[in-house]
Amino acid sequence: MDIQARLLQHMGPAMVDLVRLCAWLVVLMLIFVPLERIWPVRRQKLLRKSFGTDLAYYFLSGILPKLILVVPLSFVAAVVHRVSVDGLYPVMAELPFGVRLAAAMIVGETGFYWGHRWSHRIPWLWRFHAVHHSAEELDWLVGSRAHPVDMVFTRLCGMAPMYVLGLAQPMGNSVDLVPVLVTLLGTIWGFFVHSNVLWRLGWLERVIASPAFHHWHHTNDGPEYLDKNFAPMLPWVDQVFGTLYLPKGKWPAKYGTDTVVAKGMGGQLIGPFS
Ligand SMILES: [Zn+2]
Ligand SMILES: [Zn+2]
């Protein structure tokens, strides 16, 4: 095969990814831009500081994890294949789809919760995760701002237990819909919880994450408010592990982190390694 044909072969999937991400971006803007104008937590410009950087992160996080996660997840699958309890995989495969999906969501959420909590506790992981917390204005697009190491680590913490327990499993040549749906739902919810939208969900806020729940995770109001609300979608997981903070009707006064993080994307990507 000559070089041109090889290039074309690789460009095809990359172009499909790019078109897919552009289409999603239009859909997300159509949903969140009006919501943030009608019900804003605080008035801020659409093209706020760092909007361009976060847009670049949007494309990076849309493409990179898929490519990087293949390696560690294949490793997990290979290890699981050797050590898995006899008969666990077939038993899990027999579960009704809805049960397997719900169980995978809870297991994935718990894995992600701990990955996220360790990212705050372990200094070496925090260097990468601080990039996400450097946002001083929150809106839906901030959900994209994450260092690739941070993104891959927390996703792996969420995905690996699903594979270990057989809740997500490779099924011949077909794609297992469970991890696909869990990831898709988590991604969409990630945009919602970062959005600058005033909605409070009453009692439901302790069941499913709202913007207020995750905004409190981003607060920089003082040390007593830090390290709360680590779960991506299910606040009761925080309740179980003692880190829930969700005062009625109150919002953080300011966001961000005291950790020094570079302003530009290049510095943010290289900085944590130095
Ligand atoms: Zn965090
Ligand atoms: Zn966040």
Domain residue spans of the chain: 51-273
Nearest bound ligand to CA 144? 2
Instruction: Please report which residue ranges of 1-96 form alpha helices under DSSP H.
Output: 3-38, 51-83, 88-94
pLDDT level of residue 10 (50, 70, 90 thresholds): low
pLDDT of res. 108: 95
Confidence of residue 102 (pLDDT cuts 50, 70, 90): very high
Average the pLDDT over 96-112 and give the result: 94
Ligand 2: centre distance to CA 229 (Å): 10
Q: Which two tokens stand for residue 184?
A: 């898709």
d(CA 183, CA 178): 9
Q: How far is the CA of 90 from the centre of ligand 1 (A)?
A: 36
For residue 27, which of 153, 188, 221 has the smallest C-alpha distance?
Answer: 188
How much of the chain, in percent, has pLDDT values that exceed 70?
90
- The model carries a pTM of 0.90
> What is the C-alpha separation between 161 and 91, in angstroms, rounded?
16
Helix or strand or coil: residue 255? Answer: strand
Distance from Cα 230 to the centre of ligand 1, integer Å: 6
Query: What is the whole-number distance in angstroms between the Cα of residue 234 and the centre of ligand 1?
Result: 15
**Whole-number pLDDT of residue 126:** 97
Q: What's the confidence (pLDDT) of residue 59? A: 93
High-pLDDT (> 90) share of the chain, %: 66
Measured from the alpha carbon of residue 255, the closest ligand is 2
82 alpha carbon – ligand 2 mean position (Å): 36
Confidence of residue 173 (pLDDT cuts 50, 70, 90): low
pLDDT the model gives residue 160: 87
Kindly tell me if the per-residue pLDDT of 121 is higher than 90.
yes
The residue written with tokens 């976060």 in the block is 54
Kindly state the average pLDDT of the residues 132-146: 96
Q: What is the pLDDT of residues 196-216, one digit of tens each?
A: 999 999 999 999 999 999 999
Q: What is the DSSP code (8-state) at residue 247?
A: -
Q: How far is the CA of 123 from the centre of ligand 1 (A)?
A: 13
